[in-house]
Structure 1
Amino acid sequence: MVSHIVVGVDGSAPATAALEWAAADAQRRGLDLRIVHVCEQLPHSDGIESCTGVLEAAADRARWLTSEVKVATKPLRGNVIGNLIAQSESADSMVLGSRGLGGFAGMMAGSVGLAVAGHAAGPVVIVRDPAVERYDTVVVGYDGSDHSEAAMAYAVEQARARKALLHVLFAWQVPMFSPYAVTYNSLIETAMQEEMRAARQRVEPWRTRNPDVDISDEQRCAHPVTALIEAARSADLVVVGSRGMGGLASAVLGSVSQGVLNHVTCPVAIVRPSVKETP
């Protein structure tokens, strides 16, 4: 049984925010916390000593924040992305800062976070900054795809642990209406209404199976990224599948998940179906 959350640290401010988020999540959900730091073989580095220092400082911080959580540390050597993906295979989830010490200030999500989110075995949570306000709301993008089903399951668990509202959002961008094609526009309007009706119906089984979770739903005629960015302004966590209905099978991360990662400022969880769930 998976019983721990993995958080990657490197001494940067976003990594510290990720550590604090992971420690709080471990405490809420009764999981252990494993803190990892990948020691890359760089010239003029202090070697394993500097890695140990980063880990010890992170562990002290986590224990101070969550005395009830079992905290372990693990120094790793080699490729950062490969090591983090390997660690995800035995973890409940992986938590990372939005960018590390080598990141560019203008990028919301760094290359490491994007790569790990696209290949990790379980949910990957990307954290940008420490939480400054609490909304008691988890937002999940849900379009009925296999990836969004996995995202929904994780979002339900998060909402339950937080005793928070779960707001289920479905957004559908329709083709542009033509002022001259009355029949075509009528068909588009009918299709849009059917999509919205089906989206509402998909939420009902989740309410039935999870009566202890307060679940609201919203259907919007908008681009999914735009709708999720707006909903995220009053959310503690946004959860999306790594790909949705429009994703290509060859794509690691879909355009929606990438768009959310690059524009949403609250923590974002990217969830993939497990190997057994993937068609």
Structure 2
Amino acid sequence: MAGHIVVGVDGSAPATAAVEWAAADAQRRGLAVRIVHVCEQWPHSESTEYCAGALEAAAGRARELTRSMQVTTEMLKGNVIADLIAESRSADSLAVGSRGLGGFAGMVLGSVSLGVAGHAAGPVVVVRAPSALQHDRVVVGYDGSGHSEAAMAYAIEQARARGAQLHVVSAWQVPAFASYGVTYSSLLEDIVREETHTARERVTPWRERNPDLVISDEQPCEHPVKALVDAARTADLVVVGSRGLSGFASAVLGSVSHGVLHHVSCPVAVVRPRAKEEP
């Protein structure tokens, strides 16, 4: 894994929050911080002076928060999403604000953060605002798919670096036929037991390989987005795969990761397996 975190900035408040998140993460995990600003060449776009100012302010904030980590900057000229995706290929991870200066005030998630989360080569952390509270808990959505395996590995790394508890959410939904009445109640009970047991068993190898971590888990019978949103209320970070078992092979960003990005207020990491790990 590369030794630096890339942060995309544009001078907005969410971008500043992403810089602060990246600086703290770099300090914990011994990584450098690379801050980039893409100065798009469009009519009425910001001037080069503004771009330079946004970079300088972001770098200053990062250096305030890191004691010994290297902080570098670069101004890029091109397409924001394409350039950030290219940056992700050589980075440990990529951090972005939930929406930038070009976003509408009522939007929770901007087009840049959504586009980057669906296409980046590695983990993308979307940050909405500075964290007001610290819970010492990382939450990860896990269903045993290749993408959730990558998410679990990243969540474990984050929990260890923070000295935090890892909470694994393996949500599942009742099959459609369960609504047809009591005739199927016995079969439904069997399904609940089997699904719960299977989900618990999937977590066991991770717990055995990481005895230094406190790993808790739950198997709620509800939509995964709701389960993760509920768990996120007491989390410092929520980690999801870019798509899970229910996603189509051609889907870039699955419905669960998309839903979590739109509804969770704490930082959210969307993790895709690296190219050589792609299932």
- TM-score in same-fold range (> 0.5): yes
Q: Following TM superposition, by how much is the alpha carbon of 1:107 offset from its aligned partner in structure 2, in angstroms?
A: 1.9
Match of 1:87 in 2: 87
Residue 131 of structure 1: aligned partner: 131
1: CA distance, partners of 2:27 / 2:123: 17
Question: Corresponding residue for 1:225?
Answer: 225
Instruction: Give the aligned residue type for 2:142.
Output: Y
- Mapped to 1, the partners of 2:46 and 2:207 lie a distance apart of 53
Letter in 2 for 1:84: L
Once residues 76 and 91 of structure 2 are traced to their aligned partners in structure 1, the CA distance between those partners, rounded to angstroms, is 16
**Alignment TM-score, normalising by the size of structure 2:** 0.97
Task: Please give the TM-score of this superposition, normalised by the length of structure 1.
Answer: 0.97
Checking the alignment, whether the CA contact within 8 Å between 1:93 and 1:124 is kept in structure 2 is yes
Conserved 8 A contact 1:92-1:122: yes
The answer for the alignment partner of 2:96 in structure 1 is 96
Q: Which amino acid is the alignment partner of residue 227 of structure 2?
A: A
Structure 1, unaligned stretches of length 5 or more?
Answer: none
The answer for the alignment partner of 1:267 in structure 2 is 267
Secondary structure of the 1:5 match is: strand
The number of aligned residues is: 278
Aligned to 1:29: 29
Cα deviation code 1:58-84 (max 9, x no counterpart): 111110111211000011001000000
1:157 positional shift: 0.2
Q: Which residue of 1 is the match for residue 162 of structure 2?
A: 162
Structure 1 residue aligned with 2:207: 207
Match of 1:255 in 2: 255
CA shift for structure 1 position 46: 5.4
**What is the CA–CA distance in structure 1 between the aligned matches of 2:68 and 2:195, rounded to whole Å?**
46
| Identity, % of aligned positions | 70
**Counterparts of 1:27-176 in structure 2 under 5 Å?**
27-45=27-45, 47-176=47-176
Aligned partners of 1:19, 1:178: CA distance in 2, in Å? 48
CA distance in 2, matches of 1:180, 1:119: 43
Q: For 2:115, what is the secondary structure of its paired residue?
A: helix
Relative to 1, partners in 2 of residues 1:188 and 1:46: Cα closer, same or farther, differing over 3 Å? Answer: closer
Contact 2:39–2:46 (CA under 8 A) maintained in structure 1: no
Name stretches of at least 5 consecutive residues in structure 2 with no aligned partner.
Answer: none
Displaced runs of 4 or more, over 3 A: 44-47, 178-181
Q: Decide whether aligned partners of structure 1 residues 57 and 154 sit closer, same or farther in structure 2, where only a CA change above 3 A counts.
A: same
Q: More deviation in 225-234 or 42-51?
A: 42-51
Alpha-carbon distance change, 45 to 169 in structure 1, aligned in 2, over 3 angstroms: closer
Taking the aligned partners of 2:276 and 2:46, their CA distance within structure 1 comes to 42
C-alpha displacement at 1:259, in angstroms? Answer: 0.4
Contact kept? 2:8, 2:95, Cα under 8 Å: yes
Moved more, 35-44 or 148-157: 35-44
SS at match of 1:85: helix
Q: State the secondary structure of the residue aligned to 2:186.
A: helix
Distance 2:263 2:67 in 1: 34
